């Protein structure tokens, strides 16, 4: 692997849901800081576009398709990462989907999709990548949750439940992996200007994907004795 410069020089950083939005911004920022950004999502074309813009900016990005809802897909992806790079230093579990409408009108398959992406998907990624970090004796796992994981979200009950679950998962796994020198932290952003679906909100007052990326890099560059385990990130003004 060619060596690069920057605070995260030659670190291998896997970002799920990196084809667009917050994940693309996180991957770009980590690459800008010297990491090899390994981008994954289900759609190859958006991954290619994100990787190209990272390369144009002088960063290194690799892509692989993976569906976080599918254990075999995640396991294959983890095996490929181990073979290609021999390590993973940073795992950002960012892939996520929303839902809208009252819970009692929600079809069960939509419930499954929200839970299987936002919660089960993170479990599958930790299950597949944590052993590599344990063997290396270090690692950084950053889960992208939401303020909806800390409060009520009418017409987004399944999404809120998945993110409340993700927060509980994050706090608990942090304790499990602490002894292995692996930090597990969670970022809870408010409304962020992406394709996520924000009907009627003022996009100019929202957080930008780069704001979330900035927090991720703060977490990934802490000193060894420091462990910021949770960041709640709000827009200054209500959108
Ligand atoms: N935007 C907000 O206001 C906001 C606020 C707080 C938290 N968040 C959280 O931030 C994260 C990113 O949100 P975003 O706004 O950037 O969303 P987005 O623009 O819709 O992007 C979501 C990304 O996740 C990928 N993805 C979806 N399902 C996947 C699956 N099964 N396997 C692998 N990749 C999958 C998508 O690519 P493919 O469809 O190609 O797979 C896409 O690259 C989510 O976890 C979301 O809950 C967002």
pLDDT above 60 for 3: no
What total of structural domains would you count in the chain? 1
Residue 5 lies in a domain: no
Residue 128 lies in a domain: yes
CA distance 95 to 29: 17
Average pLDDT value over all residues in the chain: 96
Give the tens place of pLDDT for each residue, 40-65: 999 999 999 999 999 999 999 999 99
Give the tens place of pLDDT for each residue, 153-196: 999 999 999 999 999 999 999 999 999 999 999 999 999 999 98
Is-catalytic flag, 159?
yes
Work out the angle between the directed axes of helices 209-220 and 21-32 (0-180°, nearest 10). 50
Give the tens place of pLDDT for each residue, 138-155: 999 999 999 999 999 999
Residue 1 lies in a domain: no
Give the tens place of pLDDT for each residue, 80-120: 999 999 999 999 999 999 999 999 999 999 999 999 999 99
Report whether residue 117 contacts ligand 1, using a CB cutoff of 6 Å: yes
Distance 133 CA to ligand 1 centre (A): 24
Residue 135 lies in a domain: yes
pLDDT above 90 for 36: yes
Mean pLDDT, residues 18-33 taken together: 98
CATH number at residue 222: 3.40.50.720
Q: Which of 123, 124, 159, 171 is catalytic?
A: 159
What residues are paired with 182 via a beta bridge?
A: 139
Pocket test for ligand 1, best of 16, 18, 21 (most atoms within 8 A of CB): 21
Residue 52 lies in a domain: yes
Residue 188 lies in a domain: yes
Q: Which domain holds residue 162?
A: 12-233
């Amino acid at each position: 692997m060619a060596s690069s410069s920057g605070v995260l020089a030659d670190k291998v950083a896997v970002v799920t849901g990196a084809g667009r939005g917050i994940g693309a911004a996180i991957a770009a920022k980590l690459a800008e800081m010297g990491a090899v950004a390994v981008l994954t999502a289900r759609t190859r074309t958006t991954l290619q576009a994100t990787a190209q813009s990272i390369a144009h900016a002088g960063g290194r990005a690799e892509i692989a398709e993976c569906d976080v809802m599918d254990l075999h897909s995640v396991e294959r992806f983890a095996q490929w990462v181990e073979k290609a790079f021999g390590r993973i230093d940073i795992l950002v579990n960012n892939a996520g989907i929303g839902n809208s409408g009252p819970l009692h009108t929600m079809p069960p398959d939509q419930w499954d999709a929200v839970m299987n992406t936002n919660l089960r998907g993170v479990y599958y990624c930790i299950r597949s990548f944590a052993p590599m970090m344990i063997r290396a004796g270090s690692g950084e796992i950053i889960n992208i949750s939401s303020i909806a994981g800390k409060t009520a979200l009418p017409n987004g009950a399944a999404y809120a439940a998945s993110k409340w679950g993700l927060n509980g998962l994050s706090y608990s796994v942090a304790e499990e992996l602490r002894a292995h020198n692996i930090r597990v932290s969670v970022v809870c952003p408010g409304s962020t200007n992406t394709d996520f679906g924000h009907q009627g909100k003022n996009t100019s007052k929202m957080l930008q994907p780069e704001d979330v990326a900035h927090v991720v890099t703060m977490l990934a560059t802490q000193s060894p004795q420091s462990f910021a385990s949770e960041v709640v990130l709000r827009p200054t003004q209500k959108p």
